[in-house]
Amino acid sequence: MRVLKFGGTSLANAEKFQIVLQIIIKKFKKEQIGIVLSAPSTITNLLFNSITLVLEKKKKIKEIIKKIYIFFRNLINSFKTTKQIIKYKKLKKKIKKKCIFLQKKLKIIKYAKTCSDSIKAKIISIGEKISVYIMYFLLKIKKYHITIIDPVKNFITTGTYLNSKIDLKNSKNNIEKLKIPKTNIILMPGFIAGNQNKKLVILGRNGSDYSAAALSVCTNAKICEIWTDVDGIYTCDPQKISTAVLLKNLIYQEAQELSFFGAKILHPSTISPLKKNNIPCIIKNTNNLTSKGTKINNETKKSHVFIKGLTYIKKIFLITFKIFKKIKILKYIELILNFINIHKIKIFFIKPSYTHQKILICLPTEKKKIILKNLNNFFLKDLSKKKIIYFKITQNLSLVSLISSNFYYNHYIIQFIFQTIQKYKKNIIEIDHSLYNFHFLILLNNTILSSFLKTLHQKIYYQRKKIHIFIIGIGGIGQTLLKQITQQKEFLKNKNKKICIHVISNSKKYLFDKKNILNFDLKNLKQDTLKNFDLKEILKLPENFNIQNPILIDCTSSTQIAKNYINIFKKGFHIVSANKKSNTTNFQSYKKIHKTALFYKKKFFYETHVGAGLPIIKNLKNLLSTGDKFQKFSGILSGSMSFIFGLLEKNITFSKAVKKAKKLGFTEPDPREDLSGIDIARKLLIIAREIGYKLELSDIKIENILPKNILKLKNIEEVMTNLTTLDNIFFEKNKIAQKMNQVLRFIGTIKKDGVCEVKLKSISKKNPLYKIKNGENIFVFYTQYYSPIPLIIQGYGAGKNVTASGMFSDLLHI
């Protein structure tokens, strides 16, 4: 025996009824089944509202009836084509009869100007009955044998007309007495039951889940399936948190806590009867038949999802009682609980604070009026008798709950929770937790609910690390980086990482997407509709759109952006930089940038400032952090100089070598920028500062290989022709070197005392720099650990691909 309950959304129209029919037929092939039906979605609400509309004379009864009748007539209209027209007419007649019944009841209400709970119950449960008529018809024309259970006669309850509890023992007796043949499909309207006098009562809103649980117990079902329009229970409301994950398994208690603390998927009374009788419950989706759904039973499966849910209830308020010292807190709690009990109010938590002589109670806002009305009467005398000093109400609160059966064994998760609480501390009102509880409750101001949930969810279910980037500067390197990121999407996905690009900008315009810019056709950056580049505005985006851990990627060489680094860190960004200006300003600013990053706990990565993608800074940092001591450094730090002096070896003249390097794009448009040695000096400065030397750019000694007259020239063409005047000088120098079996290299050195030099040197075969040409770079570090054989890093030290990949690697390390 298996019980299947179909909710309103699964019965919303004719097509949905057909899907449900197919599910029923398939399941019935294997075993006997009991079907519990809800009203088609919106119908219960319509019926509910009809009462108010009539009482407030806002709508004519006729119109209400017409609307409901037309809804059902349209729903069954497509079933007309069946050959069994007599059965169809019978169905239509039954629906009509129910509408006439409704009309009569509404008229009574209209004249009486009031509606008793008994009539209310009858009215709002009409939808369930009609669902059963329709399904009976559909099964009948397929020639199935059916037994309809009348829950009013068979489900005995205690409670009120609008909220009753089923007496399972007696109900089970009744159902057993029916002796339903094994060959029959059982059909029953949900939501409805009967009181001791066999009068119709209902089980509270969304009560058909509870009906299904009761039917499962009464028929000894081995499973209870709840069919709805979502795949199952998620780690958080998927409407609020797009990354919420479907839970495959829950134990009964976890499911109970989830629904108590706001998860809207199950009626809160559903689990308890199933738990007592050890009947598993599965939540399934009529819109996605292949999904396995969520299974609730008592098997604790090992799972990496250890917090089972993050639920929230929005309308909450808090009462704080301040108690006189002589009064015992526990005694007073008893008093409060009695009061709460009398008024049958659900309470979320009650918490004593012994040090402050306070008691806090967290309650649903919908009951605020009743509570406050009675509270005054009840406690005023305590105020006068000096039992309490005051009581205070705090409103507009939300209650977030984390549900897990495992808090005790996974303390580390508590740490994540507290980290998030710390971040939002100004708006957190109270927390309630004990390691043995299944829940961890956080009471907070409504205003931060969404943001808090998002942060906490991300922290706990770090399923896929999201890396949020803002790219500034979209020249060759920026574009290559974007290309590489796109290419690596799948690879990163398999590594549980996702890069979300929020900003792409050039110096004039910027594109923004709070989720991810998927289509970055760079032509878009020219559109007039785009916002003008404004760093200040860009820096505000993470806060405005709750983007966590943003990374600014500086692909510019802009002094202006470099000047803003301190500000960027303060705004909560990490920085990945290719902009050398940020590390080569005066020492004071340099220090301030690095200190700010440290202070705000932000990462500052700039591997590409030296040797492009070659891991120079990374390795240097590692050596120094692990206690190695620097001794000396030498290297070829410029691809263009490596290329030019490599050619001289082949007896090519100096001017021709520069021309060739320029043509192949190895030099800057004005080759003097390379030849002057300033770029090498900047890189040396960055390395030296990394080692700890307090140096300015002007401290780096540069041996200038260009005479003043060439440096002064305005026109690049002229520079190129004038370079021939140097051919002889270099020819001679090269000849001398060759005679000694040496080569000319333009190198950078740092000595132990921090003296940095950029100069042309003739070097022998033994020197590792000897072989470096064709644009290659080399970095040779002698340290305490790396001597006498040095640590050597060599390879291409310039170019779009290697530089972009260096930045890419930096951002993956944040």
Answer for the pair 625, 619: CB distance below 8 angstroms, yes or no.
Answer: no
Question: Would you say 239 or 377 has its CB closer to Mg ion?
Answer: 239
Instruction: Out of 171, 195, 206, 653, name the contact with Mg ion by CB under 5 A.
Output: 206
Q: In whole angstroms, give the CA distance from residue 232 to residue 214.
A: 21
CA distance 279 to 258: 18
Site for ligand ASP contains 208 (CB under 6 A): yes
Select from ligand ASP, Mg ion, none the partner in contact with residue 397, using the beta carbon and a kind-dependent cut-off of 5 to 8 Å: none
**Is 191 near ligand ASP (CB under 6 A)?**
yes
Q: How far is the CB of 491 from ligand ASP (least distance, A)?
A: 46
Pick out residues in 13-42 that bind ligand ASP (CB under 6 A). 38-39
Among the listed ranges 153-161, 203-211, 226-234, 465-473, the one in contact with ligand ASP (CB under 6 A) is 203-211
What is the spatial distance between Cα 340 and Cα 324, in angstroms, rounded to a whole number?
A: 21
205: contact with ligand ASP by CB under 6 A: yes
- Distance, in Å, from the CA atom of 83 to the CA atom of 14, rounded to the nearest integer, reads 17
By C-beta, is 42 or 774 nearer to ligand ASP?
42
Name the residue nearer to ligand ASP (CB basis): 208 or 638: 208
The position carrying tokens 């806590």 is 257
Q: Among 3, 8, 10, 695, which residue interacts with ligand ASP (rule: CB under 6 A)?
A: 8
Q: What is the rounded CA–CA span in Å between residue 568 and residue 749?
A: 33
Contact segment (CB under 6 A) with ligand ASP among 206-214, 234-242, 361-369, 531-539 equals 206-214
Across the beta sheet with 701-702, what order do the strands follow?
701-702, 756-763, 743-750, 630-636, 776-783, 791-796
Stretch that binds ligand ASP, among 205-213, 300-308, 497-505, 777-785 (CB under 6 A): 205-213
Query: Residue 420 phi/psi, 5° resolution?
Result: -70, -40
Pick one of Mg ion, ligand ASP, none as the site partner of residue 297 (Cβ within 5 to 8 A by kind): none
Instruction: Give the chain's count of helices (H) and strands (E).
Output: 31, 31
Shortest distance in whole angstroms from residue 115 CB to ligand ASP? 17
Nearer to ligand ASP, 215 or 658 (CB): 215
Paired tokens of 202:
């209902």
Nearest residue (CB) to Mg ion, 227 versus 645: 227
Q: Establish whether 683 is a catalytic residue.
A: yes
Stretch of 170-178, 203-211, 568-576, 615-623 lying at the interface with Mg ion (CB under 5 A):
203-211
Phi, psi of 703 (to 5 degrees): -85, 115
656 binds ligand ASP (CB under 6 A): no
Task: Select the binding partner of residue 404 from ligand ASP, Mg ion, none (C-beta < 5 to 8 A, by kind).
Answer: none
Q: Which two tokens stand for residue 77?
A: 């209209």
- Residue 256 beta carbon to Mg ion: minimum distance, rounded to whole angstroms: 18
Query: Using CB distances below 5 to 8 A depending on partner kind, what does residue 262 bind out of ligand ASP, Mg ion, none?
Result: none
Write the single-letter amino acid at 437: N
Note whether 189 binds Mg ion by CB under 5 A: no
Long-range CB contact pairs, 90-95, < 8 A, 24+: 90/137, 91/133, 91/134, 91/137, 94/130, 94/133, 95/69, 95/130, 95/133
Q: Shortest distance, CB of residue 188 to Mg ion, whole angstroms?
A: 15
Is 270 a binding residue for Mg ion by CB under 5 A? The answer is no
Residue 259 found at the interface with ligand ASP (CB under 6 A): no
Q: Where are the alpha helices (DSSP H) in 113-242?
A: 117-124, 126-141, 151-154, 168-178, 208-218
Q: Which is nearer to ligand ASP, 194 or 207 (CB)?
A: 207
Shortest CB 43 distance to ligand ASP, Å: 7
Of 67 and 169, nearer to ligand ASP (C-beta) is 67
- Residue 232 binds: one of ligand ASP, Mg ion, none (C-beta under 5 to 8 A by kind): none
The yes or no reply on residue 207 touching ligand ASP (CB under 6 A) is: yes
The item of ligand ASP, Mg ion, none sharing an interface with residue 207, based on CB under 5 to 8 Å by kind, is: ligand ASP
- Scored b (16 or more CB within 10 A) or e, 205-216 reads ebbbbbbbbbbb
Q: What is the smallest separation between the CB atom of 55 and ligand ASP, expressed in angstroms?
A: 20
User: Which residues have C-beta within 8 Å of that of residue 380, sequence separation ≥ 6?
Assistant: none
| Per CB under 6 A, 155 contacts ligand ASP | no
User: Is 206 among the residues that bind ligand ASP (CB under 6 A)?
Assistant: yes
What is the distance, to the nearest Å, from the Cα of residue 172 to the centroid of all Cα atoms in its chain?
A: 45
Q: Which residues of 222-243 are buried (b: 16+ CB within 10 A; e: fewer)?
A: ebbbbbbebbbbbbbbeeebeb
Residue 227 or residue 452: which is nearer to ligand ASP going by CB? 227
The residue among 131 and 206 lying less far from Mg ion, judged by its C-beta, is 206
Out of 10, 32, 44, 642, the residue judged to bind ligand ASP by CB under 6 A: 44
Whole-number minimum distance, CB 23 to ligand ASP, in Å? Answer: 18
Total residues contacting Mg ion (rule CB under 5 A)? 2
Contact track, ligand ASP, 308-327, x by CB under 6 A: --------------------
CA distances from 259 to 6, 203, 268, 272 (A): 18, 16, 5, 12
The percent of the chain in helix, strand and coil, each rounded to the nearest 5, is 45, 20, 30
Residue 142 carries which DSSP code? Answer: T
Pattern of binders to ligand ASP over 125-144, x per CB under 6 A?
--x-----------------
Q: Which of Mg ion, ligand ASP, none binds 39 (CB below 5-8 Å, type-dependent)?
A: ligand ASP
Please identify which of the residues 92, 284, 358, 683 carries the catalytic annotation: 683
Question: Distance (Å, rounded) from C-alpha 413 to C-alpha 693?
Answer: 43
Token digits of residue 479: 């574009």
C-alpha–C-alpha distance, residues 352 and 350, integer Å: 7
Closer residue to ligand ASP in complex, CB, 44/269: 44
Smallest gap from Cβ 48 to ligand ASP, in A, equals 8
Q: Evaluate the CA torsion angle 202, 273, 297, 181 in order and state its sign.
A: negative
Q: How far is the CB of 38 from ligand ASP (least distance, A)?
A: 4
- ∠ CA 751-752-756, nearest 5°, is 30
CA distance 375 to 307: 37
Q: Select the residue interacting with Mg ion from 3, 5, 7, 688 (CB under 5 A).
A: 7
* The pairing of beta strand 630-636 with beta strand 776-783: antiparallel
206/582 with CB nearer Mg ion: 206
44 is in the binding site of which of ligand ASP, Mg ion, none (Cβ under 5 to 8 A by kind)?
Answer: ligand ASP
Query: Which range touches ligand ASP (CB under 6 A), out of 71-79, 207-215, 243-251, 472-480?
Result: 207-215
Shortest reach from residue 205's CB to Mg ion, in Å: 8
* Choices 200-208, 299-307, 557-565, 587-595; region in contact with ligand ASP by CB under 6 A: 200-208
> What is the residue whose two structure tokens read 């009753």?
164
> What's the min distance (Å) between Cβ of 278 and ligand ASP?
24
Distance CA 725, CA 728 (A): 7
Token pair, residue 508, equals 């004039």
Q: Which residue has the tokens 């958080």?
A: 236
* Closest by CA position to 119, among listed 189, 203, 65, 199: 199
Q: Which candidate, 148, 110, 128, places its Cα nearest to that of 190? A: 128
To Mg ion, the closest distance from the beta carbon of 222 in angstroms equals: 23
Pick the closest to residue 72 from 136, 109, 126, 24 (CA basis). Answer: 126
Q: Note whether 190 binds ligand ASP by CB under 6 A.
A: yes
Closest distance of CB 269 from ligand ASP, Å: 11
Note whether 164 binds ligand ASP by CB under 6 A.
no
Residue ranges binding Mg ion (CB under 5 A): 7, 206
Residues tagged active-site: 683
Residue ranges binding ligand ASP (CB under 6 A): 7-8, 38-39, 44, 127, 190-191, 205-209
